[in-house]
Amino acid sequence: MRSLPRTPWTRNRRLIRDSSLVWLASGVVGVSFGAISVAGGLPVWVPVVMSLVVYAGSAQFSAVGVLLAGGGPFAAAATGLLLNTRTAAFSLAVADLLGPGRAARLLGAHLVTDETVAFALAQPDPARRRAAFWISGLGLFAVWNAGVLAGALAGTALGDTAAYGLDAAFPAVLVALVLPALRKDAPLRRAAALGALLALAATPALPAGVPVLLALAGLIPYGRKEAAV
């Protein structure tokens, strides 16, 4: 007996199921961000508005860290912008997934994150990549902001959120997302290993976030190989 053909709803339901882990991790870390911000002395509206307008997890943590350490808003914004420069490369990777129209591209650009790009590029064909980008991106945005609001309202009631090890949630999810691609592509594995070595070597000497940007240099040999094919 032949199996029934997959409908768009069936395919999207699977994407929703797969991306739910990313949403869960996002919500947990969002709660941590909101709680840390308010416990450090910032008003509730600061992390909430920042999450809606800026929407960049690591950059938000860094910017708030600068503010809580006594730095000014310009120093905080510069730190966040530096960390978020990596999304320029990510945007090029998913530019064809955003669809036509200025509104779609503007919204899609706002949803570009490590997680949405990794989830989208892990799909086997353009249609599923486009669906994965929008499903994971919109869900991630909603859950992240809900988590930030909940954490900000909870304030100091959560105690020391760093003690829970929440900072490990996103890296663990990203590793799970990229493993299928790494298994199938030996040159990509070498590029990832080179990037990891560069980041590890630079971590003791460079500010937080910069080693991650430096790791992108590991993709240069891989990009040359793809261009030559």
- Structure pTM? 0.67
pLDDT at 149: 94
Could you tell me where the DSSP H helices lie in the chain? 8-39, 45-53, 57-68, 73-84, 86-94, 102-111, 114-121, 126-154, 169-184, 186-202, 210-215, 219-228
| 73-109 confidence digits (pLDDT tens) | 777 777 677 767 767 767 777 777 777 778 888 888 8
| 120-153 confidence digits (pLDDT tens) | 877 878 888 888 889 988 999 999 999 999 988 8
Confidence of residue 213 (pLDDT cuts 50, 70, 90): low
CA Rg value for the chain: 19
| Cα–Cα dist 96/197, whole Å | 31
Domain residue ranges in the chain: 12-167, 185-229
